[in-house]
Structure 1
């Protein structure tokens, strides 16, 4: 079994047409099903990526000064990295090949099924000169479905390598995982939701089958990952912060009707041509959008209080038999 994800690079004809051929699309979908992660190479203008990187590096300095030494202000309480919004209110940085990338949308719509929605956007900054790592986890502090329902599109804004904290990925873990692999604050069904962390003994079992890797990426590429895949943020030993954008796409059947905020000018850009995804956004003034940045809430979780996965139904049935 390959210990690297599938890499899909567009041909000249695919680039000109703004979509992958059937063969490229097949490779992408096979890779996501097998590994839970693929890398779409060379689909974003590197000049656009560099402008976003510089803008976010400047803001990162301000955000870190506010956080200080309070580790609770960092992702998972580990001062290695923190969540950071992209500069959504800066129209000169709202690039179509980032926020409406046709190659990303094409793959997402075939993997999740027709009419998926873009439902969330954030970013992640791996602090320079750090030594701590995150625990292995899923981006799922809820009982997730046992099928492809959410894809995260990560846009690296610089070269990613093990040295500067490229994310640790457990390829193929998405295919067999369920919420029972996660840690719970109390015995189910007393607890209504699991923690995101994977049970340590299962991590070690998986390591024997297919150990984790850190994927090298470069500006202009996009990494797509199934939300169920096990992963962990890693330390950045380099002398510069490592930043990426992250967009969340959900299947049409997944019960999440929450909207994120975008400025009015984004509507014109996003509606200038047909998209393969629905943009589940509320368009507001730049000032209101700015106020919403860096406020995460529960945008990744189901919004339907009656949502139940097959796994949860099975657990409830088993608990009644005890």
Structure 2
């Protein structure tokens, strides 16, 4: 488990370099269980490969992973990953998207891009999304390890789509997790090996942002009600700063049978005033 000093060190690297790697963050047992779950889901649901060149014609992308297997719940909540995300964003961050990235042999390299270029913010800007790339197999030069341009999150522009850039290959052993500012220029590598490269993309965003996946509608209520409370909050069953996301001035987590959630900011203000008056 990461110490507070470890957490701060990784957060500082994301601030300075745009990324950090937590080597062997996940246990071998968890990694093998996650891979087996992906293979089972692919087989049982007859899932095919992606349909666009950007997603990869030889890449298996399974979205809405939390609905398929309870083991996947451990990924967004992992004790060696989530605390770093919360240090860069805050404790009220949200899960933005969670999908598999299984690159088959012959998968071409993805164009260098950054994940915030459709959001009309001048660059550089504060981190608004942190992506966690989970390596479920070793990430190597020959099997499609993610390519990055360190420090590019501070560039004043986004990359030119389709242009070649001098990128660094983020090699790492299975079980490792690379966290990066979504403004970092990056792209999946080419898989020239004879085996599949297994990975997850687990992205988090601020509580005031719209999530990339609509998890409140995509995850059946009977599934969400079984989540640990923290995972429910990450999926959007909460109110950011007591103001954004409420339903009739109530915390939506109550819809999942939880006890009273957070007070709204205006109610909390009155409670604070009353408490001060009684002192």
Q: TM-score, normalised by structure 2?
A: 0.70
1:134 aligned partner: 110
CA contact (8 A) 2:14 2:20 kept: yes
Greater Cα offset, 21-30 or 152-161 = 21-30
Larger RCO of the pair (alpha carbons < 8 Å, separation 6+): 1
Shift in alpha-carbon separation, 1:131–1:94, aligned structure 2, 3 A: closer
Post-superposition CA distance 1:145-172 (Å, at most 9, x none): 4211001111111111111110111111
Would the alpha carbon gap of residues 252 and 269 (structure 1) be closer, same or farther in structure 2, given more than 3 Å must change? closer
Aligned counterpart, 2:273: none
Structure 2 counterpart of 1:176: 155
Structure 2 counterparts to residues 54-203 of structure 1, below 5 A: 54-60=36-42, 62-64=46-48, 73-76=51-54, 78-85=56-63, 87-91=65-69, 93-96=71-74, 98-128=75-105, 130=106, 132-145=108-121, 146-178=125-157, 181-183=158-160, 197=161, 200=163
Q: CA deviation at 1:56?
A: 2.0
Unaligned runs of 5+ in 2: 239-279
Higher helix share: 1
The residue that corresponds to 2:191 in the other structure is 236
Are residues 148 and 77 of structure 1, via their aligned partners in 2, closer, same or farther at CA, if it must alter by over 3 Å?
closer
The DSSP-based 3-state class of the residue aligned with 2:111 is: coil
Give distance in 2, aligned partners of 1:160 and 1:175. 25
Where in structure 2 are the equivalents of 1:18-37 lying within 5 Å?
20-37=2-19
Q: Counterpart in 1 of 2:30?
A: 48
Q: Find 1:280's aligned residue among 205, 217, 236.
A: 236
Please give the alpha-carbon distance, in whole angstroms, between the structure 1 residues aligned to 2:232 and 2:86: 7
- Secondary structure at 2:226 match in 1: helix
Contact 2:101 2:199 in 1 (8 A): yes
Once residues 49 and 135 of structure 1 are traced to their aligned partners in structure 2, the CA distance between those partners, rounded to angstroms, is 28
1:240 and 1:23, CA in 2 relative to 1: closer, same or farther beyond 3 A? same
Quick one: distance in 2 between partners of 1:109 and 1:28?
Answer: 11
